[in-house]
A = this chain, B = another copy of it.
Amino acid sequence: MELRPGPEGLRSRLFHIIFESDTPAAKGFDIALIATILLGTAAILLDSVLAYHQRFGTLFDYVEWSLTVLFTLELALRIYCLERRSLYLKSFYGIVDMLAILPAWLVLVIPGSQGLVIIRLLRVLRIFRILRLMEFVGEAQLLLDAVKRSAHQILLFFLSILMVVTLFAALMYTIEPASAGFSSIPRSIYWAIVSMTTVGYGDIVPVTALGQAITVLLMLLGYSIIAVPTGVFSAQVIRSIRAERYSDEACPGCGHDHHEKRAYYCLLCGTWLDENSEDPRLAEDKDADTDEAPPATDT
């Protein structure tokens, strides 16, 4: 999905500075952008602290508005220097770039949309691009493969957990007094998940002996079944690592399809596997060059 512009002076130079990072100017732009994004995120986080809001609220507003104008300009430049603009605007980072400035402008139009603070925080995702984190994602492909292959098993695992949790919650709702916090089944489900995931806030705790005995069962269950997704996932990662080493192409001689990618001969029948070159054994037969002959040809 390379979105390169034609070689037309200003647009081409802008493209290099904004989208690449191999020249000093382009690197400077990247660093300035990361600094700006982190500054903006810090401003949002600190503005939510009452004491800072009261003392520096106006400053944070200035920062926010300056960044909004800056990011809008930057987005305009990005769109300007690209050729296939619609492709960019529909791409994941195009949407993130737009979401990063939209909420601020919306506040002008719709009063009271300060709640969009979460969307403004999505800006941080832009750092992923600048750090060329997609390279990491290349590394992460292995993980995603493993997650995908264990997805069915983990879904079944979670469905079963939800069933178990609901039944435990209903049981505790029947046993424990409402004053201990088990005032409804949904609240008991909240408690059961807090307990089974070993979080254990302690805001709701069993007070009867029977309730504590059942809690012990629930906790031991939660403590031990974490081994299930971990085991499944470990196995799948190992499988993925192994799959990297093996090819699935079938041998033309015997049909065996589990060779190392580096194999030249089939492990089972010895047929030459590389379709782009000739079997050196045939060449050797012609040349009668028996100095480095394979073990079987000792006539």
Contact = CB atoms under 8 A, between A and B. Distances in A.
Contacts of A258: 245, 260, 262
A179 interface: no
A254 B213 CA distance: 57
A178 B49 CA distance: 11
A85 interface: no
A182 B199 CA distance: 18
Interface in A224-240: 224, 226-239
Contact of A299 (B136, B237, B298): B298
A220 B193 contact: yes
- Secondary structure call for the A interface: helix
| Total copies of the chain | 4
Contacts of A233: 227-228, 230-231
A190 interface: yes
Contact of A186 (B142, B143, B209, B298): B209
A35 to B, nearest CB: 17
A70 interface: no
A154 interface: yes
Contacts of A49: 183-187
A118 B224 CA distance: 24
Contact of A254 (B140, B264, B268, B285): B264
A10 interface: no
B294 A158 contact: no
Contacts of A48: 173, 184-186
A254 B253 CA distance: 19
A110 interface: no
A153 B139 contact: yes
A125 interface: yes
Interface stretch (A1-9, A59-67, A76-84, A200-208): A200-208
Contacts of A201: 200-202, 205
A295 interface: yes
Given A156-B136, A190-B212, A199-B200, A271 B292 contact: yes
Given A152-B139, A200-B199, A200-B201, A296 B271 contact: no
A255 B263 CA distance: 9
Interface of A: 44-46, 48-50, 115, 117-118, 121-122, 124-125, 128, 133, 136-137, 139-140, 142-143, 146-147, 152-156, 158-159, 163, 166-167, 170-171, 173-174, 178, 183-187, 189-190, 193-203, 205, 209, 212-213, 215-216, 219-220, 222-224, 226-239, 241, 245, 253-258, 260, 262-265, 267-271, 280-281, 285, 292, 294-299
